[in-house]
Structure 1
Amino acid sequence: MTRDPRPSILERYASADTHSGEIRRAAQRLVQNGLMIGEDIDRVVESDWGRPGMDVK
């Protein structure tokens, strides 16, 4: 157990799809702000980057 007061990823997102959707939206904002290229969006969403280490049900 950590002392981090924030809710866990499993508590914040109802499903893996919900979590992936948030990652996609964040990546799209980065593209809009010129901080990421659009072709990397799918790669980021499909990779393990940003995903919880446990299964989200």
Structure 2
Amino acid sequence: MTHPQYPIPQDEEGRKRYESAKRHAALAKEQGKSLDEIHEIFKKVMKGTGKCSGRKQ
């Protein structure tokens, strides 16, 4: 099964969000999360709707 490629945003903020989403997905994979959970985490980070303990309010 090939993994679909997410288009990398061209703006700086989008690229930072993409890299953050990849890091979050990698951590979720290390924690043994399911593929569905990993994809949901990636999507939330890309949309900016995730809840990160390090995010500034």
Same fold? TM cut 0.5: no
Structure with higher RCO (Cα < 8 A, 6+ apart): 1
| TM-score normalized by the length of structure 1 | 0.39
